[in-house]
Each structure stands twice: as C-alpha cells, then as structure tokens.
C-alpha cells in the first residue's frame, strides 16, 4: 500500500471518528434542548388551559361537553388532554384512552393530590402512552379539589425526533470524509429551519395568530430598557371582551373561538406602526403596546378600537344594551425611567380596564404613571 493511500485512509478514519464524536455530543445537546422545549411547551399549555377554564363553567358540563372541551384544549395547546373528576377519567384525547385508562386510574389518583400540590412536571404512563405532564386542579365552588386536568406531551414524539436525528447523523458520519462541506451545508439548513420555526412559534398564540403573553413579557423588558436610555414614553392598552363567558355559554366554544380571532384581527389592524404590537394576554384579554405614544395618541387609538369592534356587529344577546360584542379598555401611559418594569404598566392598565367594566363596559379608562 502506497504512502499516499495510507494518508488518505488515515484522514478518512480520523474524519469518521471525529464525526462520531460530534454526533454523540450533538445528540446529547439535542436531547437537552428537546427536554427544555417540552417544559416550555407544557408551561405555555398550562397557562392557556388555565385561561380557557376561566371563561367557562365546568361544573355545568355533561360528559359529551367535557370531551368537546378536551379536544378544544388539544387544538389550542398542541398537547394531549385528560380530565379526571372524582378520581374517574371522563375525557381524554389519547387514542384508545378510554379503553386503557381504567387499569391506571388508581395509580394516577393515588398521587393526584401531590401532583396538583407541587405543580411539577412528571413522567407518567396512561394506558400505553408515556407522557411528560403537568396538572391543573379543578375546584368546586367551596375551593375543594374535585379533579384535575392532565396536560401531557407524548414522549414518543421525543423518541421519534431523536431517532430521526440519530439516523441522519450516522449517514452523515459515514459520508463525512467524502462530502463534508456540501452535506454539512444541507444538514445545517434542514436542522435549523424547524428549530427556528419552533422558537418563532413559541411567541405566537396558536388560536388567534397574534403574539402571546410570553412575547409581551420578554419584549416589554427589552423595550423599557431601550426607551429608558432614549427618554421615550410608553402606552399600554389592556383590552377585555365584555361578558365573554356568557358569550361562550350562549353560542358555544367554536363561535367563541371565531369571535376571539375577529377581535384579534381588528386590534392588529388598528395599529399601523411597525414598533406597535398586539398580543393575546389571557383567555379573553388582549394587550396593545404603543412605544413612544403620548396620552393623546393612546386615547385616540383606544377610541378607534372601541368603535371598530362595535362596527363589526358580532351578535351578543347577553351584552346589554349594545346587543353585540364590545370591549372594555384600560390605558396606562408614562415616561419611561430605569426604575419601571413591564409589570407596572400591565398592573395599571389592568386596573383601568376593571374600572371601565365597573362603569358599564364598552369604554376606556386612562391613567398616567
């Protein structure tokens, strides 16, 4: 064997072993990333489920309505939903779940109080499904826990992702010495695209398409830091759909979801500058953030949004005297300084929003920080 051939083989083996080391390191980091993302997804899902629970009266539900509610929560959160009341599984989105949950009811309900009390993520088995889950207690009118909602992420999805990346990585490791540069570019593009998409989707509300509460919390912190250095001002509008719980009870969840989409679209179109943004902050609450907007400008926007929502003429028999969907708005405006936080604006805008509700809804109230 020639010296040249030996050198080529040595380089190829070294490149292959290096690729294997990188593959193992990458898989370990990927597993940690997926675990972190699952935890974030569950936190977001718990928040969204809690918001949805606030807009309905679960105690009035039949078994069929519980199943409908579970499917609706799955569509909103992207997670599997299982509902227990009085230690009995009454609804689940897991395939064939109703046939397999009976054998595991006792196992789950023995630890249910601890799970709800500690509010920690746990890996559990429901039927043939392994999930990482969090738990939301269901309370009766006296504040007693009567059941729970299990929000779960199927670990089979994580396993499938790891296997797909592992198989792709082995192929890359074998081909690495020969086509390292072009294949590396292709793999980097294909791997980064879903990751970027996943991170981008983490800031959007799945139902309405506008930003979510997580985006508000993160963006306000950065925005206030920037505006405090430039001496700017900030106006924040907290918007609540009037009598939305009654709207859901009258017209149903599907119509209620459509109403949320319409309101979100109207609010989003009601702002024109690139730095302004709209977000869904809770089940029936939205936030509009207006950097460098003074009192006059914020009040003009509030009046415009009130009128535009009314002009949609979305029927709402339970909203007297308007007879259509309306909103109540709280406006908080202030000159930014380094001692302020986003929570200050959220708190004052929320107080003004409740003042608008107390004064009869379909109006705005203003305060200056």
Residues 314 and 236 in one domain: yes
Last residue of a domain, one of 117, 139, 155: 155
Helix 253-269 / helix 244-251 crossing angle, nearest 10 deg:
130
Residues 134 and 222 in one domain: no
> Is 11 inside a domain boundary?
no
Task: For the chain, give the mean pLDDT.
Answer: 77
Q: Are residues 228 and 358 in the same domain?
A: yes
CA distance 135 to 141: 19
Would residue 49 count as lying in a domain? Answer: no
336, pLDDT greater than 70: yes
Share of the chain above pLDDT 70, in %: 67
Task: Tell me what pLDDT residue 148 has.
Answer: 82
Residues 28, 189 contacting (CB under 8 angstroms)? no
Which own/partner contact pairs does 33-42 have at CB distance under 8 Å and 24+ positions apart?
A: 34/158, 34/161, 34/162, 35/158, 37/198, 38/132, 38/153, 38/158, 39/121, 39/132, 40/202, 41/78, 41/79, 41/153, 42/79, 42/121, 42/132, 42/133, 42/134, 42/151, 42/153
Q: Is residue 33 part of a domain?
A: no
- The answer to whether residue 178 is domain-embedded is no
pLDDT digits (tens, 9 = 90+) for 49-98: 887 776 666 655 677 777 888 888 888 888 888 888 776 778 888 876 44
Is residue 42 assigned to a domain? no
Whole-number pLDDT of residue 71: 87
Give dist(CA 92, CA 89) in Å, integer: 7
Structural domain count of the chain: 2
CATH code of the domain covering residue 111 = 3.30.450.20
Rounded to an integer, the average pLDDT of 163-192 is: 57
Residue 186 lies in a domain: no
Boundary of a domain, candidates 88, 120, 155: 155
Q: Which residues contact 302 (CB under 8 A, 6 or more apart)?
A: 237, 329, 331, 364, 366
Confirm whether 102 is domain-assigned. yes
Find the CATH number of the domain harbouring 217: 3.30.70.270
Domain boundary among 130, 155, 180: 155
257 and 339, same domain (yes or no): yes
CA 173 distance to own-chain centroid:
37
Confidence of residue 253 (pLDDT cuts 50, 70, 90): confident
CA 136 to chain centre: 16
Establish how many alpha carbons lie within 13 A of residue 206's alpha carbon, considering only the half-sphere containing its beta carbon.
Answer: 16
pLDDT of residue 162: 65
Same domain assignment for residues 111 and 218: no
Mean pLDDT of 310-314: 93
Q: Which residue has the tokens 């730095």?
A: 275
Give this prediction's pTM: 0.52
- Whether the CB-CB separation of 233 and 226 falls below 8 Å is answered with no
Q: Is the pLDDT of residue 288 over 80?
A: yes
Peptide bond into 321 cis (omega under 30): yes
Is 223 inside a domain boundary?
A: yes
pLDDT in tens, 218-245: 888 888 888 888 888 999 999 999 999 9
pLDDT digits (tens, 9 = 90+) for 201-223: 678 888 998 999 989 988 888 88
CA angle (281 as vertex; 339, 320 as ends), nearest 5: 120
Confidence band for 188, pLDDT divided at 50, 70 and 90: very low
Domain that holds residue 125: 60-155
Does residue 234 sit in the same domain as residue 104? no
């Amino acid at each position: 064997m020639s010296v040249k051939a030996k050198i080529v083989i040595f380089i190829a083996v070294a490149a292959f072993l290096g690729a294997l080391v990188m593959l193992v390191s990458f898989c370990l980091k990927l597993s940690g990333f997926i675990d972190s993302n699952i935890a974030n997804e569950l936190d977001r899902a718990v928040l969204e489920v809690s918001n949805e629970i606030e807009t309905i009266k679960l105690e009035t539900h039949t078994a069929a309505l519980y199943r409908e509610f579970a499917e609706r929560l799955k569509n909103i959160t992207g997670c599997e939903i299982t509902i227990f009341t009085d230690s009995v599984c009454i609804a689940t989105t897991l395939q064939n779940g109703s046939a397999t949950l009976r054998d595991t009811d006792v196992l789950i309900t023995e630890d249910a109080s601890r799970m709800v009390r500690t509010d920690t993520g746990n890996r559990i088995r429901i039927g043939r499904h392994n999930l990482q889950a969090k738990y939301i207690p269901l309370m009766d009118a006296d504040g007693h826990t009567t059941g729970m909602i299990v929000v779960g992420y199927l670990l089979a999805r994580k396993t499938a992702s790891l296997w797909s990346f592992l198989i792709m990585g082995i192929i890359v490791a074998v081909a690495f010495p020969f086509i390292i540069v072009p294949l590396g570019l292709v793999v980097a593009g294909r791997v980064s695209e879903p990751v970027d998409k996943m991170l981008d989707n983490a800031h959007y509300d799945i139902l309405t398409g506008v930003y979510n509460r997580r985006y508000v919390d993160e963006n306000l912190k950065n925005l206030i830091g920037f505006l405090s250095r430039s001496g700017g001002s900030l106006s924040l509008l907290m918007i609540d759909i009037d009598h939305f719980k009654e709207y859901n009870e009258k017209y149903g969840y599907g119509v209620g979801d459509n109403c949320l989409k319409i309101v979100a679209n109207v609010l989003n179109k009601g702002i024109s500058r690139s730095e302004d943004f709209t977000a869904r902050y809770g089940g029936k609450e939205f936030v509009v953030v207006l950097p460098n907007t003074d009192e006059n400008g914020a009040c003009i926007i509030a009046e415009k949004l009130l009128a535009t929502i009314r002009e949609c003429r979305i029927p709402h028999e339970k909203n007297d005297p308007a007879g259509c969907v309306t909103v109540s708005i709280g406006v908080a405006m202030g000159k930014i300084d380094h001692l302020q936080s986003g929570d200050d604006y959220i708190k004052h805008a929320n107080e003004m929003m409740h003042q608008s509700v107390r004064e009869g809804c379909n109006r705005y109230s203003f305060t200056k920080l």
